[in-house]
Amino acid sequence: MRLFITIAALLFSPALFAQESFTRTVKEYYRVNPFHGSFSAFVKALTTDSALLKKEIYKQTDSTGYLVKGEYEVFNPFSLNANKVEMAFYENGYRAQDKYLFSFYTYQLTAYFPDTELNREAIKKDYSKLSKKLRKDLSHVKMNSLKGYQNIEDGEITTYSNNGMPLVPAILSWQTLSKTGQLAITLVTRIRQQDNKVYPVNWVNVVFRVEED
């Protein structure tokens, strides 16, 4: 019997250590950590969390992916007291050249605050603090201003990746919400599950292939 082990070069590069750092950052900002334990245990913990209010769960169908969403009244990883914190976890399909390649999950956290001058400065500091953490973990960074986009007075969105691939594992943004007089800061983490384990969406892992003589 011969054992073939296919390992992507990323596993022997600094990206492996960046993955470990990235998972620590995610643990700090999400109430339920997707990288702790198995994927099934994470989903169970997320959906049964008593702190998640106004909970809605939609199972996967032929046309739609799995979705769970709700609100936290107490949990808030940012420095200001939030009016509310929304959580959404949903399944996506990745396509290239109109071909379905694989499914992944988006884990999104959005906190809302009254739009005041002091709050804007505080949110910018929170945004900068988290952005610095993600920049250490994920070296490919792309930032765009949101000023003037769909009537947004001020804001910014940044994507973070470890290898420049189009499907990025982290997105961070803040923006004004003029219609409601609110500010919002959003953290998006994208993950994949394989063999009931969780990985950042664009990290690859070991593939074992056994052949018999």
Question: pTM here?
Answer: 0.85
b/e per residue 96-111 (b: at least 16 CB within 10 A): eeeeeeeebbbbbbbb
71 contacts 88 by C-beta, under 8 angstroms? no
Tens place of pLDDT per residue across the chain (213 aa): 444 333 333 333 344 434 678 889 999 999 999 999 999 999 999 999 999 999 999 988 766 789 999 999 999 999 999 999 999 999 998 777 778 778 899 999 999 999 999 999 999 999 999 999 999 888 899 999 999 998 899 999 999 998 767 789 999 999 999 889 999 999 999 999 989 999 998 875 433 334 444
